[in-house]
Structure 1
Amino acid sequence: MQPDFWHKKWQESDIGFHNSDANPLLVKHFPALGLATGSRVFLPLCGKTLDINWLLAQGFQVVGAELSPIAIEQLFDELGVVPEITQQKDLQHYRAPNIDIFMGDIFNVTHNLIGQVDAIYDRAALVALPFDMRTRYTSHLKAITHNAKQLMICFVYDQNQLAGPPFSISDDEVKAHYSADYTLSLLESAEVVGNLKGQCPACENVWLLDNGM
């Protein structure tokens, strides 16, 4: 996916991937990460997800990366806060109490920019990327977070029936990306009610990636 693909989605409000509530699988399984209140959670390719509102309401700090300025502006509008905006090399840093969002290409995000991360919540990032980008993405994610533990939600479906994104991520692919660095646990495989995009039977798989810390 080229950046123009996602900019066009946001410009045209073609954001069917945006939920109107916090993801129930996040609410159900987030405690599996065992985080203390105040811990810092990284959301890659975060959009304006209401999962951020939920995490903030639970007392967590949020750091995110997002390509679209429209998504970020709408996020802060919906949070009801005015962020401080600064330029950080190739990225813009939007900052408000307990939340830092970096606008730009996620591959320009570094550990020094985002700082200490206690966990990752990946609900919409891996599934948004085509196959030939996913190895680079997962390697980069591990590098900038120092292999922070992770709660990841991905779709599994017959890719021949529906073109992504979101793309189908098989169990074998999850293991190929992450098993060398984490202990993997499939917490739940939930059927997508009404099919994916109303067209294709699918499941949402919830993975815990435990780094042993």
Structure 2
Amino acid sequence: MQADFWHQMWHSGRVGFHQADINRFLQAHWQRLGLDNQTSVLVPLCGKTLDMLWLKELGHSVIGVELSEKALQDFLEEHRLVGTPTSHPDLTGYEVDGLALFCGDFFHLRARDCAEVGAVYDRAALIALPPSMRQDYVAHMKAILPQTVPQMLIAMEYDQAALSGPPFSVGRAEIERLYAPDYHVDVLESVRFERKGVATVETAYRLTPA
């Protein structure tokens, strides 16, 4: 998936993937990761999700990484937040009240940026990537995290021939293949619905260090 695609989506306002409310899976199942509320949480490809504020209100410090500068600017403006610019060799970003927001290529995020991360919340990152990029994404995540940490991952399954992504269809078998042998993969909850006339299953997974 080319960066230009996402920049065009955000600037056009065609962001149907953005949820106007806090994710229901997150609210219902986040506690099942067994985390201390002081744990730092990485949110890859965060967009302008309200989920970051919900996590912050629990006491977590949050690191969000997003390709689109407009998405992060919208997030700050919509919540009346004023960010202090951060210093980074490859990314731009802001520090604001328990949030570190980086803008740029996720693959430029470094291990030193994630030294305190103790959990990952992936609502829209893996399923935003085409198959050719998913292995590299998981490998980079492993390289930058200080250790294998619990993750909540939300994915969708549907007939990819009937509906093109993103979000792409990523099933449990592929998730297990990508994250093995470092994680046990458990289903937290699945919901069935129709998306643009195509039967879809959305599932929240817990990835527990093996």
TM-score by length of 1: 0.95
Taking the aligned partners of 2:37 and 2:207, their CA distance within structure 1 comes to: 20
Aligned to 2:188: 187
Partner of 1:53: 53
Instruction: Write the mapping of 1:150-169 to structure 2, written as runs, cut at 5 A.
Output: 150-169=151-170
Q: Distance in 2 between matches of 1:86 and 1:37?
A: 24
Contact 1:53 1:79 in 2 (8 A): no
Q: Which amino acid aligns with 2:6?
A: W
Whole-Å separation in 2 of the counterparts to 1:113 and 1:42: 10
Which amino acid is 1:154 matched to? A
Q: Tell me how far 1:148 sits from its aligned partner.
A: 1.7
* Residues 1:79 and 1:38: Cα distance change in structure 2 (over 3 Å): farther
Q: Structure 1, residues 11-69: CA drift from partner, whole Å, max 9, x if none?
A: 10110000110010110110111111221110000000111121122221110110000
Instruction: Name the aligned partner's letter for residue 120 of structure 1.
Output: V
Q: Name the SS for the 2:134 alignment partner.
A: helix
One-letter amino acid of the structure 2 residue matched with residue 165 of structure 1: P
Task: State the 1:114 CA deviation.
Answer: 2.9
Tell me the equivalent position of 2:31: 31
Tell me, in whole angstroms, the C-alpha distance in 2 between the residues paired with 1:60 and 1:80.
20
Number of residue pairs matched? Answer: 209
Distance 2:29 2:149 in 1: 17
Structure 1 runs, 4 residues or longer, greater than 6 Å off: none
Letter in 2 for 1:199: G
Deviation at 1:108, TM superposition (A): 0.5
- Report the AA paired with residue 207 of structure 1: Y
Alpha-carbon distance in structure 2 between the residues aligned to 1:86 and 1:209:
31
Q: Provide Cα deviations, 1:84-131, integer angstroms capped at 9, x if missing partner.
A: 113411101311121001110000001112331110000100000000
Structure 1 residue ranges without an equivalent (≥5): none
Q: Residues of 2 paired with 1:32 and 1:162: CA distance?
A: 32
Gap regions ≥5 residues in structure 2 = none
Q: Which moved more, 1:82-91 or 1:12-21?
A: 82-91
